[in-house]
Structure 1
Amino acid sequence: MGRKEDEVLELIRRNPYMSQQEMAERLKISRPSLANMISSLIREGKVLGRAYMLPEKGTVICIGGANVDRKFLLSEPLQMGTSNPVSATKSAGGVARNIAENLGRLGHEVKLLSVVGRDNDWQTIEEGSAAFMSLELTETLRELPTGSYTAVLDTDGEMMFAMADMEICDLLTPEHLSRYESVLLSAALIVIDLNCPAETVSFVQQLAESREIPLAVIAVSAPKMDRLGATLRGITWFVCNMDEAESYIGEPIKTDEQWRHAVWEFVDLGARNVAITAGERGVMAGNIQSVQHFPALPIEEMTDVTGAGDAFSSALLHGYLNTFAFPDVVKAGLTNAIKTLESPLTVRTELTAAGLKNEMEELQ
């Protein structure tokens, strides 16, 4: 690339909305020459259309749920039909948002693409998220309230049941995402959770496949597995738990052989890498080369299950982005999940890339 091209990129970097005429005058070249130069830079992927957006190398775009988590930890065993004493907490949550925060704490540049209401819950999300991700792609809307997730946990911190109001995510349509297509095309990795409508998941899959952009699809619940299409082509990583896998394939998964076969089914449908988690039984993960079982890591004391699945997905993707060997990619996920289970927080505040590396070494 020549000196003039460098000068063009510097002008665009300073002001992406500068007209070609003004740019040509600054550079003392003809406007047609400048137009040819910009066209060449666009073809090379150094500039992304109008406004002349520069590719954001290394940026992860997380698409999906951003909500407020409300957790009620029972002080005593649940008694139906009466009031039960609990300790209550409120924090920023949502699968896509949680993954974005984990990745941000691990040192990645992250942007959250979501929709939220113009309400106090959005303020909670903003306050808990802004330090770890860009929120410029998250739009506030008047039509619906910010999504919410409410969980009731037993005295040991295990989830008894949960309720999620994520209707606002239905507004994450292909038309909405197409407004940010240039940003998606520049991503090092796109992560989408299945809070998004089925047609949106399909739209992102097709975009990722056609432009060879790594894509991770993260399941959120068994009822929402119908948002995953019949083909998984274009998906670099697919992560779900055993209940979600059973819901999609329509068969029970009881034995290790059935578990292994479920991974193969997802791979056969087009996913390049698949991980199916099963709590204390560990993870079954693989690709077209092989499928293997990874035992769960030892846990000192479980405090709260909320966020453990998102922690697994996040650290797994951190390993993938840092070109870890396949077993270490999965072990990174398992390590972060265990440490999150031991924490009362949905995303643990001590998480760093160096810290995760040390924890992986300690738990081997």
Structure 2
Amino acid sequence: MTITEREQHILECLRADPMISQQALADRLNISRSAVAVHIMHLMQKGYVAGKGYILAEQSYVAVVGGANIDLSGRSAAALRMGDSNPGSLSVSPGGVGRNIAENLARLGSVVQFFSVVGQDAWGDQLLAACRSAGVGVDHVLRPADVSTSVYLSVLDADGEMKLALNDMAALKYLDATALEKRAGFLDRAPLWVLDANLSEESLYWLFQRRAHQRVIVDTVSAAKVGRLIPYLDRIHTLKPNALEAEVLTGVVVQDAASAKQAVAVLHDKGVERVFLTLGGQGALYSVSGSSLWLDALPVQVVNVTGAGDAALAAITHATLQDWDAEHSARFAMAAAALATTSAHTIHPHLSETALLQLLEASDAKIP
């Protein structure tokens, strides 16, 4: 997208002083502060400015597009009794597949810009504050006046395994083709996109039609939503399904490593370059262009499995940006998933690249 002469002048000022205030820019260019704000908004929409501060587009970033919600999680103190009140514990934390991946990525050290929708309510404030605290750019998050922040409710058994979940993601209807088009420049300038299947069919169509040089990494979210990805499998660089989601995409019933390989072969035939197929506590299959590697789950004390998949996908994305080889990338992702399950929160508060590498070293030391 082209920029005006005035926008070019503002860009030059921002390059010289990224922390300059809008009023200082207005004084320097002899225009009003409100005019500066409008020009900066246009530069953000065109992708030349990626966030406050001001982060210029020359700084490479990952664009994460997907859901943001509050996680309400309940864990039973004993075996679940369906249809009855179960003693247990309850927790509230920031969540959403896209948002979780974005925060995990930032904690690992990647530069991230997040695009989603939250309400103008206390939970929306909490989600954005958590993102900013982790270093995630949220200047492109929409906050319509007439929408409530999305909520994800999960029920876990005494072992931390999820038995039931409900989600209200109606807010994402605002992240439509029109909203995406207004931010086309911001998306175009990111070399890598991370998408989740919470996005509507309209949004996914726009994104995959718009995709040019970007590598696209996709989280399948759930068996109910993964079918939306079927038309675009040949445009997906990396896909992270679980067993149920892989079955929807391939027709293969995945129960073990052997059946996982069959499903992954089908996905490669459909055009997916790289697959990370997870089987919970059994482990995962990591496959790149037909060369696969099975990895056992790391032995840890499981507290909550809710954020394991999001952490694993963030780790894969971070490894992709670092150009790590397949085995190191896969093991790094397994470490991220394992660490995530040891916290009651959806995102482990001490997640970092160093923490995961140390976990891998400790795991290797236990192997005779």
Q: TM-score range with shorter-chain normalisation?
A: 0.7 to 0.9
1:246 partner letter: E
Using the TM superposition, give the Cα deviation of residue 73 of structure 1 relative to its aligned residue in structure 2, in angstroms: 1.3
Using the TM superposition, give the Cα deviation of residue 260 of structure 1 relative to its aligned residue in structure 2, in angstroms: 0.7
User: Which residue does 1:350 correspond to in 2?
Assistant: 350
1:152 partner letter: V
1:232 alignment partner, SS class: helix
2:178 equivalent to 1:170: no
Using the TM superposition, give the Cα deviation of residue 67 of structure 1 relative to its aligned residue in structure 2, in angstroms: 0.2
User: Which residue does 1:191 correspond to in 2?
Assistant: 194
Matches within 5 A, 1:24-63: 53=49, 54-63=56-65
2:81 alignment partner, SS class: coil
Structure 2 distance, partners of 1:153, 1:281, is: 18
Using the TM superposition, give the Cα deviation of residue 83 of structure 1 relative to its aligned residue in structure 2, in angstroms: 2.7
Structure 2 distance, partners of 1:309, 1:241, is: 9
Using the TM superposition, give the Cα deviation of residue 48 of structure 1 relative to its aligned residue in structure 2, in angstroms: 9.5
Structure 1 distance, partners of 2:10, 2:154, is: 53
Contact in 2 for aligned 1:340/1:348 (Cα 8 Å): yes
1:325 partner letter: D
1:356 partner letter: L
Structure 2 distance, partners of 1:257, 1:78, is: 32
Deviations along 1:142-175, one digit per CA (max 9) or x if unpaired, are 3331110011111221111111111222322222
User: Which residue does 2:239 correspond to in 1?
Assistant: 238
1:139 alignment partner, SS class: coil
Using the TM superposition, give the Cα deviation of residue 14 of structure 1 relative to its aligned residue in structure 2, in angstroms: 5.8
Structure 2 distance, partners of 1:51, 1:97, is: 20
Unaligned runs of 5+ in 2: 1-7, 19-28, 30-42, 50-55
Contact in 2 for aligned 1:238/1:274 (Cα 8 Å): yes
Distance 1:9 1:90, change over 3 A: closer
Structure 2 distance, partners of 1:334, 1:255, is: 17
User: Which residue does 1:330 correspond to in 2?
Assistant: 330
1:113 partner letter: F
Range moving further from structure 2, 91-100 or 80-89: 80-89
Contact in 1 for aligned 2:252/2:262 (Cα 8 Å): no
Unaligned runs of 5+ in 1: 1-5, 17-25, 27-46
> Which of 147, 157, 161 in structure 2 is aligned with 1:154?
157
Using the TM superposition, give the Cα deviation of residue 280 of structure 1 relative to its aligned residue in structure 2, in angstroms: 1.9
Question: Who wins on radius of gyration, i.e. which is larger?
Answer: 1
2:302 equivalent to 1:302: yes
2:92 alignment partner, SS class: strand
1:294 partner letter: L
Using the TM superposition, give the Cα deviation of residue 310 of structure 1 relative to its aligned residue in structure 2, in angstroms: 0.6
1:348 partner letter: H
Distance 1:51 1:308, change over 3 A: closer
Matches within 5 A, 1:208-227: 208=211, 210=212, 212-227=213-228
User: Which residue does 1:257 correspond to in 2?
Assistant: 258
Contact in 2 for aligned 1:237/1:273 (Cα 8 Å): yes
User: Which residue does 1:43 correspond to in 2?
Assistant: none
Question: TM-score scaled by structure 2?
Answer: 0.82
Contact in 1 for aligned 2:275/2:287 (Cα 8 Å): yes
Structure 1 vs Structure 2 CA RMSD = 2.6
2:281 equivalent to 1:280: yes
Structure 2 distance, partners of 1:321, 1:362, is: 25
2:224 alignment partner, SS class: helix
User: Which residue does 1:268 correspond to in 2?
Assistant: 269
Contact in 1 for aligned 2:230/2:249 (Cα 8 Å): no
Q: Give the percent of matched residue pairs that are identical in Structure 1 and Structure 2.
A: 32
Using the TM superposition, give the Cα deviation of residue 357 of structure 1 relative to its aligned residue in structure 2, in angstroms: 2.0
> Which of 74, 97, 100 in structure 2 is aligned with 1:98?
100
Structure 2 distance, partners of 1:185, 1:332, is: 28
User: Which residue does 1:341 correspond to in 2?
Assistant: 341
Contact in 2 for aligned 1:231/1:269 (Cα 8 Å): no
Contact in 2 for aligned 1:91/1:128 (Cα 8 Å): no
Using the TM superposition, give the Cα deviation of residue 192 of structure 1 relative to its aligned residue in structure 2, in angstroms: 0.6
Structure 1 distance, partners of 2:120, 2:241, is: 31
Using the TM superposition, give the Cα deviation of residue 271 of structure 1 relative to its aligned residue in structure 2, in angstroms: 1.6
Deviations along 1:227-282, one digit per CA (max 9) or x if unpaired, are 11323233221111111111222332235332112112112222221111001221
Aligned length: 329
Contact in 2 for aligned 1:57/1:187 (Cα 8 Å): no
Distance 1:245 1:57, change over 3 A: same
Contact in 1 for aligned 2:119/2:148 (Cα 8 Å): yes
Structure 2 distance, partners of 1:241, 1:155, is: 22
